[in-house]
Amino acid sequence: MGYGDDLLVTALAANLKKKFPNRQIVIGNFAKKQAHHSIIYDNNPNISDCRSLDKNKEIHIVDYHPENRPYINYEKSTNTKYIWNNKYKASPGELYFTTNEIKVAKSIIDDAKLFWKKNNTKKFNGIIFLETSSTKIDHKNWSFKQINKDWGKDNWLALVRELKNSYLIIHSNHNKTLDINEIYKTENMSFRIACATMKLCDIYVGPEGGFSHVAGALDKKAVVYYGGWIDPKIIGYEFHTNIYYEHKISPCGLYRERCYHCEEARNNISVNYYLNEINKIFK
């Protein structure tokens, strides 16, 4: 599962724990009696660690796995295209940080501010946590999905050029991160540390995915790129600015082949439009 999905299910787990406080809530495949652990669930009081359960206490498996996503209408979907469940509405998830994770995140923010001072003479307008690429962009099964969802390298680079002289940008760092000069990036950024760092930033900027759901869980403002692949009314949050390509075939849901309509979305959603939506938040 992806971290975005792991976050989405934490809201359901919280509600179940209120209803069944004495049960051990785990996430997995009910039919196979399998549970799934994620770093997203670390320190979460509503989700038990499936690797160390108490055999004497009742176990409640939340049936949530790659073959059972509540936002997908499986009966109508095909082997190349998802049809979305329009009745589903994402609820913000939950993240619980350790004292040390927050401490490391604060040190990253402090270091980023020093980076800004060394390279700029004026004050920054705000701190942006930036994501520009998916870790699954060349995954053998999901590369077309990620390509269709992506705004495109050139667009992200152009946006950064417009932002970098006014905002302190902290770029997420993973093995598929775009190499962008003149903005701050640290080597000491696991996913959970990145999430803790975002907590201390002003907004999230990037595509729909793991980090957009982190921003939702942290009640953080965000300007999120959706293109025309999935509708933010289903998987997004009302307190975010969701950039969506309104088109007769949106949301397309194509995931096994390249989509010309998603290419149109990349070309029609301009850098200036995205930039203006970010600037509005800081006015």
Summarize pLDDT for 77-129 with one digit per residue, the tens: 999 999 999 999 999 999 999 999 999 999 999 999 999 999 999 999 999 99
Give CA 131 to chain center in angstroms: 9
Could you tell me what percent of the chain has a pLDDT over 70? 95
Residues of each domain in the chain carrying CATH 3.40.50.2000 = 99-281
CATH class assigned to 99-281: alpha beta
SS (HEC) of the chain: CCHHHHHHHHHHHHHHHHHCCCCEEEEEECCCCEEECCHHHCCCCCCCCCCCCCCCCCEEEEECECCECCCECCCCCCCCECCECCCCCCCCCCCCCCHHHHHHHHHHHHHHHHHHHHHCCCCCCCEEEECCCCCCCCCCCCHHHHHHHCCCHHHHHHHHHHHCCCCEEEECCCCCCCCCCCCECCCCCCHHHHHHHHHCCCEEEEECCHHHHHHHHCCCEEEEEEECCCCHHHHCCCCCEEEECCCCCCCCCECCCCCHHHHHHHHHCCHHHHHHHHHHHCC
Summarize pLDDT for 49-79 with one digit per residue, the tens: 999 999 999 999 999 999 999 999 999 999 9
Beta bridge partners of 221: 203
Q: How far is CA 188 from CA 146, 193, 215, 222, 223, in A?
A: 25, 8, 20, 23, 25
167: which 2 tokens?
A: 């905002």
Q: Phi then psi for 220, rounded to 5 degrees?
A: -100, 140
234: which 2 tokens?
A: 């289903």
- CA 242/CA 134 separation, integer angstroms: 18
Res. 1: pLDDT tops 60: no
- CA 199/CA 193 separation, integer angstroms: 10
Summarize pLDDT for 7-17 with one digit per residue, the tens: 999 999 999 99
